Amino acid sequence: MDPYAALIQPFVEFGFMRRALVACLALSVGSGPVGVLLVLRRMSLVGDALSHAVLPGAALGFMVAGLSLVVMSLGGFIAGLVVAILSGLVARVTPQREDASFAAFYLISLALGVLIVSTHGSNIDLMHILFGTILAVDDASLLLVVSIATLTLLALAVIGRGLIVECFDPGFLRAVGGHGAVVHFVFLTLVVMNLVAGFHALGTLMAVGLMMLPAVAARFWAGEVAPLVAASSAIAFASGYAGLLLSYHAALPSGPAIILVAGGVYVVSVVAGPRGGLWARFMPRRHLEA
Amino acid sequence: MRRLIGISRAAEETRFGRAVSPLGGGVAAQFIWAVPIAALLWVAAAWAMGWLS
């Protein structure tokens, strides 16, 4: 097979492959920076918890309006936000840490969501919501995903510096009059929005995959925030592109193929990454000689 | 705008304040990378949806 037929032709020939590719690009651009900030803020598992928290809202939207893009997205967004607010509230008014309250609320949400879909829909509907279908992304879904990526970029341009300062030195942010709580809430809103975007393509179970795997892999290649964001977005898009091709040529389900490619990049990064990777750590370079 | 992002001018003039500003400028400088990327994304979306053909 010639390289054009293998690497480019599927996207030229088929509209659904083009839309899936651009959906991956939008997810990479939006979720890349958000994932890096989650890692820097030591909130990697919060992203996972919030992705499951989207489920009952999407399920309620499904119950009310069937597989309606707008209603399911709105429901997922509200449910994710409610879980984020409740978890933050419990962490602030009780001695419990935020990660523990997130774990509790996301489990309740997940069970509630599966219960709603199971009692009001078929197994196929449940599979669609849990695992998504990136190859079935239509124009409306694509517009939603691209709009969310655009909003994320613009919001990060406004609050990015406050977020980064809060990651490394929250005391400094307070000392210079920054509003850490507001910044944190806007950031959690961005996380939920990007998870709603990811949910349409990859389902609630794997929506967080293109957010976290590239971000944690990028940590082995870059040490500063801007290169980290660039590396994370690049890894996410490359994983999306390679995963789509793998799915097309090998007739595999596209969502898991994309996430598995991102997982492969992570494993390679752990082994070969120059910043703390196993190779750099256990195979020291020779000392310079005079 | 400075109040919005929560960093005062005095803080911006410290070493740390400058370090967290990728382009070393004000808030407007942050949009220099965000707007073109967003614009490219919309062009890609238009291509995918067949609006460019």
CA distance B21 to chain A (A): 6
How far is Cα A70 from Cα A19, in angstroms, rounded to an integer? Answer: 18
HEC sequence for A155-177: HHHHHHHHHHHHHHCHHHHHHCC
Closest CA to A254 of A230, B32, A262: A262
| A287 CB neighbour count, 10 Å cutoff | 5
A117 at the B interface (CB within 8 A)? no
How far is Cα A135 from Cα A26, in angstroms, rounded to an integer? Answer: 15
* Range 27-56 of A in CB contact (< 8 A) with B: 29
CA dihedral B22, A241, A218, A199 (to 10 degrees): 90
ipTM > 0.85? yes
CA closest to A174 among chain B residues: B6
Q: What is the pLDDT of residue A290?
A: 65
**Chain-chain contact of B31 with A156 (C-beta, under 8 angstroms):** no
**Longest CA–CA separation in chain A, Å:** 75
- Best mutation target among A159, A161, A182 (most B Cβ atoms within 10 Å) is A161
Closest CA to A26 of A254, A193, A225, A260: A193
User: What are the φ/ψ torsions at residue B52 (nearest 5 degrees)?
Assistant: -90, -10
**Chain-chain contact of A165 with B7 (C-beta, under 8 angstroms):** yes
**Chain-chain contact of A173 with B49 (C-beta, under 8 angstroms):** no
User: What are the φ/ψ torsions at residue A52 (nearest 5 degrees)?
Assistant: -75, -30
Tell me: pLDDT of A21 over 90.
Answer: yes
Tell me: pLDDT of A94 over 60.
Answer: yes
Q: What is the pLDDT of residue B29?
A: 66
CA distance B45 to chain A (A): 6
How far is Cα A38 from Cα A283, in angstroms, rounded to an integer? Answer: 30
Closest CA to A258 of A270, A267, A247: A247
Domains of chain A: 3-207 (1.10.3470.10)
The pLDDT-based confidence of B22 (bands split at 50, 70, 90) is: very low
The per-residue b/e assignment along A44-69, b for 16 or more CB within 10 angstroms, e otherwise, is bebbbbbbbbbbbbbbbbbbeeeeee
Give per-residue pLDDT as tens, A135-171.
988 899 899 999 999 999 999 888 887 788 888 777 7
**Once rounded to an integer, what is the mean pLDDT over residues A64-76?**
84
Tell me: pLDDT of A264 over 90.
Answer: yes
Domain ranges in chain B? 2-48
How far is Cα A44 from Cα A98, in angstroms, rounded to an integer? Answer: 12
Give per-residue pLDDT as tens, A202-234.
888 888 999 999 999 999 999 888 899 999 999
**AA letter at A57:** G
Token look-up 């389902």 returns: A203
**Chain-chain contact of B38 with A173 (C-beta, under 8 angstroms):** no
The pLDDT-based confidence of A17 (bands split at 50, 70, 90) is: very high
Do A237 and A265 touch, CB atoms closer than 8 A? no
CA closest to A154 among chain B residues: B34
CA distance A263 to chain B (A): 25
- Best mutation target among B3, B5, B13, B27 (most A Cβ atoms within 10 Å) is B5
Residue B50 zone, left/alpha/beta (φ > 0; ψ -120 to 50; rest): left
What are the CA-CA distances from residue A201 to residues A130, A132, A240, A279 (Å)?
10, 5, 11, 35
A13 at the B interface (CB within 8 A)? no
**Chain-chain contact of B16 with A172 (C-beta, under 8 angstroms):** yes
First-residue to last-residue Cα distance in chain A:
52
